[in-house]
Amino acid sequence: MVRIIEYTFDDPGWPGSGEKHRLLTTLRDASRHPARRLITLYHERWEEELTIDEVKTHQCERPVLRSQTPAGVVQEVYGLLLGHYVVRTLMAEAAQKAEVSPRQLSFTGTLKILRCRLPQCPASAAGRRRWYEDLLAEVAEEVLEPRRERINPRVIKRKMSNWEKKRPEHAHYPQPTKKFRQSIVMLC
Domain span including residue 123: 46-140
pLDDT score, position 150: 62
Buried b (16+ CB within 10 A) or exposed e, 171-181: eeeeebeeebe
Has residue 33 been placed in a domain? no
Query: Region 119-135: what's the mean pLDDT?
Result: 95
- CA angle 24–17–38, rounded 5-degree value: 30
pLDDT tens digits for range 100-112: 999 899 999 999 9
* Residue 35 belongs to a domain: no
* Assigned domain for 7 exists: no
Quickly state the pLDDT bin for 156 (edges 50, 70, 90): low
pTM metric for this prediction: 0.65
The dihedrals phi and psi of 184, each to the nearest 5 degrees, come to -75, 130
Assess if residue 90 is contained within a domain. Answer: yes
β-partners of residue 24 are 4
Tens digit of each residue's pLDDT (9 = 90 or more) over 32-82: 999 999 998 888 777 777 788 888 888 887 778 888 899 999 999 999 999
Asked whether residue 166 is domain-assigned, the answer is no
Looking at the domain assignment, is residue 164 inside a domain? no
- Strand order, beta sheet including 3-9: 21-25, 3-9, 184-186
Query: Does some domain include residue 34?
Result: no
Question: How many structural domains is the chain composed of?
Answer: 1
Is there a domain that residue 179 lies in? no
pLDDT band at 151 (very low <50, low <70, confident <90, very high): low
